[in-house]
Amino acid sequence: MLRRPTLLLLIPFVLAAAPAYAQAPPLTLPDDPSQQATATQRIGLTDLTISYHRPAVRGRQIWGTLVPYGEVWRAGANENTVLTLTSAARVGGQEVPAGSYGLHMIPTAADWTVILSRESTAWGSFFYDAKQDAVRFSVTPRTVDHQEHLAYAFDDPSADSVILTLRWEKLAVPIPIGVDTPAVVVESLRRELHGLPGFFWQSYARAATWSARHDVNLEEAQAWADRAISMNRNFTTLRAKAAVLEKTGDAAGATALREQALTRATEAEMNVYGYELLQAGRIDQAIGVFRGNVDKYPESWNVYDSLGEALAAKGDKAAARAQYEKALSMVQDETNRKRIQVILAGL
C-alpha cells in the first residue's frame, strides 16, 4: 500500500518553491490614464520626434493649480517628455546638437520658459538640474479650444522649419524649430558619395543637380558634375554641369553644355526635359523640345501626346487637337487611349 506524504515532508518543497513566486516576471498591462504617445515630423532629412504621456483635465483646474506657476514642469506626465532630433537644429532660435533632450517648462500667467535638458531619462522634473540645460527660452501661450488630453503636434511644417505645439486644457504653447536643411543634405550627400552610391555616375549627377537647384555648395557641386561626366558623358551629366555653371555665372558655358546634352538625349530624356520647361512656364521652349522629339522619334505616339499638351498650355487648341489625334491613332494601351479621348473631348 502506498503511503501519503506527511505534512512535514511537504513543507521543504513549499519553501523551496517560494522564491519562484518572488521572482515572477512582470506582466504587460496598459498605461495608467496618462497614456504614452509619440509624434514625428520630417523636415528635409531631419526627423523630429516627441515622446510623452497624456494626462487628462478631468474637470480639474490645470494652470496655476495642478501645474503650479513658477515651478519646473515635466510638460506631460510620468517619465521625461523627450524631444529627439536626428540633426542639429535651432530650437527657440538657439542652436541644439542632434540628440535626445528632456523637455521641461516653467508656466506663468504670462510668458512661459521652455527648457531642453541634456538629461532625457529621468522621471518627470523631480530630478531636474539647471546645470544640464542645453537651451532655455521664452514663449507666449495662446488660448485655444478645450483639449481634454494633453497633446503635441507639429504645426506649419516647411522645408526648414516647424512649430512643435503643446495643447492642453485651453492653452497652446508654441516651440519654434528650424533646420538648416541645405547643410544637412550636403553633409548627407558627402557621406553617401563615400559609400556604394559613389561608384555610379548617376549619384554624382544628382548631387550636383540638387546643389545647383538650391544654390548651395557650388564649388563641390562642380567637382561632382565633373566626376559624373568623367564616368559617363551623357545628357544627364552634361545638364548637371550646365546647371552648376549657370548658378556660378557662366551662362555661355552652361548654354554650350546644354546644346551638347541635347545631341545625346534619348526620347525619354527629351520628354522629361520638355516637361521641366513646361512646369517652369517656359512654354515656347518646351514646344521646341517636344517638336524636336517628334522629328527624331516619329514612330512614338508619346511624342505627339506631349507636344499636344504643350500646345494646349499655350492656348493653341487646334494644333493641340491635331497632335492628340495623331497620338490616339498610334497608341495601343487602352488606359492611355481613354485618357487622350477625354482630353480631346475637352478641347
Confidence at residue 296, expressed as pLDDT on a 0 to 100 scale = 92
Average pLDDT over residues 305-330: 95
pLDDT at 295 over 60: yes
Say which residues have a Cβ less than 8 Å from residue 216's Cβ, sequence separation at least 6.
182, 183, 186
pLDDT of residue 324 exceeding 70, the answer is yes
pLDDT in tens, 201-221: 999 999 999 999 999 999 999
Confidence at residue 2, expressed as pLDDT on a 0 to 100 scale:
45
The share of the chain scoring above pLDDT 90, in percent, equals 86
Q: List pLDDT tens digits, range 38-75.
A: 999 999 999 999 999 999 999 999 999 999 999 999 99
Q: pLDDT tens digits, residue range 115-143?
A: 999 999 988 888 999 999 999 999 999 99
Residue 25 pLDDT: 85
pLDDT for res 123: 85
For range 15-24, the mean pLDDT: 58
What pLDDT does residue 31 have? 63
Stretch 328-336: mean pLDDT: 94
Q: On the CB side of 19, how many CA atoms lie within 13 Å of its CA?
A: 3
Please, which residues bridge with residue 148 across strands?
none
Instruction: Give residue 267's pLDDT.
Output: 94
Residue 331 has pLDDT above 70, yes or no: yes
Burial class (CB in 10 A: 0-12, 13-18, 19+), 238: buried
Which of these, 92, 145, 56, 187, lies nearest to 83 by C-alpha position? 92
- Does the model's pTM come out above 0.85? no
All domains of the chain in start order, with CATH: 35-179 (no CATH), 181-264 (1.25.40.10), 267-347 (1.25.40.10)
pLDDT value, residue 27:
81
Of the candidate ranges 25-34, 140-149, 157-166, the one whose mean pLDDT is the lowest: 25-34
Residue 192: pLDDT over 70: yes
Range 158-166, long-range pairs (CB < 8 A, 24+ positions): 158/43, 159/43, 159/44, 160/43, 160/44, 161/43, 162/41, 162/43, 162/48, 164/48, 164/50, 164/83, 166/75, 166/105
Distance of alpha carbon 151 from alpha carbon 55, whole angstroms: 9
What mean pLDDT comes out for the span 255-265?
93
Q: Which residues pair with 67 in a beta bridge?
A: 63
Round to whole Å and give the CA distance between 238 and 244.
Answer: 10
Is the Cβ–Cβ distance between 323 and 344 less than 8 Å? no
Instruction: Give yes or no for residue 16 having a pLDDT over 80.
Output: no
Q: What is the DSSP string of 38-92?
A: EEEEEETTEEEEEEEEE-B-TT--TBTTTB-TTS-B-SSSSS-EEEEESS-EEET
Answer yes or no: is pLDDT of 11 > 50: no
Mean pLDDT taken over the chain: 92
